[in-house]
């Protein structure tokens, strides 16, 4: 099944907003705020690492924390790097994601799933390298499209 993209509904947007507010609380609890209020990949990595090492009831909080960190990371991509929120449906189901270059490359990240996979392995400090990889991929695809769209000066057709 080919991926199908659709817009988020009001309930999904509210869920994202609530999760981002939860991420802000995690950042504050970790004392990871840089004073600017931005939830950068570095700050989110620090908040997630603090939560993992906090000794709290991690299993009971995991779903909320996974969505909080994931959606805050997704919002960073939306706010800073030209991604957009989307609902993606494929053979595996339907999920909230962010994508760049719609219909020109569809660079897609499902941030909650990305965090969930790292939670299963108790991996920390993964958002910064993922961020750089995602931006590199987006730039590479965009540059490739830009190069293809430019015809030689002598070709008029």
Domain-wise residue ranges, the chain:
4-144
Q: Which fold has domain 4-144?
A: 1.20.120
pLDDT tens for the chain, residues 1 to 157? 889 999 999 999 999 999 999 999 999 999 988 778 889 999 999 999 999 998 776 667 999 999 999 999 999 999 999 999 999 999 999 999 999 999 888 899 999 999 999 999 999 999 999 999 999 999 999 988 777 666 555 555 5
Local structure of residue 121 (DSSP, 8 states): T
Please list the residues that pair with 117 across neighbouring strands: none
User: What is the helix (H) or strand (E) element at residue 155, kind and residue range?
Assistant: none
- pTM summary value: 0.90
Q: What is the pLDDT of residue 156?
A: 53
DSSP codes joined into one string, 73-112:
HHHHHHHHH--EEEEEEETTEEEEEEEESTTTT-EEE-HH
State the CB neighbour count (10 A cutoff) for residue 103.
7
The whole-number pLDDT of residue 155 equals: 53
Report DSSP state, residue 37. -
């Amino acid at each position: 099944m080919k991926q199908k993209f659709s817009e988020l509904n009001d309930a999904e947007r509210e869920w994202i907003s609530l999760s981002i507010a939860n991420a802000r609380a995690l950042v504050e609890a970790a004392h990871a705020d840089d004073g600017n209020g931005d939830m950068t990949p570095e700050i989110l990595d620090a908040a997630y690492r603090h939560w993992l090492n906090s000794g709290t009831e991690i299993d009971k909080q995991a779903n909320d924390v996974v969505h909080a960190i994931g959606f805050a990371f997704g919002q960073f991509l939306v706010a800073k790097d030209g991604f957009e929120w989307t609902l993606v449906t494929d053979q595996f189901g339907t999920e909230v994601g962010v994508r760049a270059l719609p219909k020109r490359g569809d660079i897609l990240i499902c941030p909650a799933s990305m965090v969930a996979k790292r939670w299963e392995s108790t991996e920390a400090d993964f958002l910064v390298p993922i961020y750089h990889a995602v931006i590199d991929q987006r730039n590479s695809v965009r540059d490739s499209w830009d190069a293809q769209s430019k015809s030689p000066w002598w070709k008029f057709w």
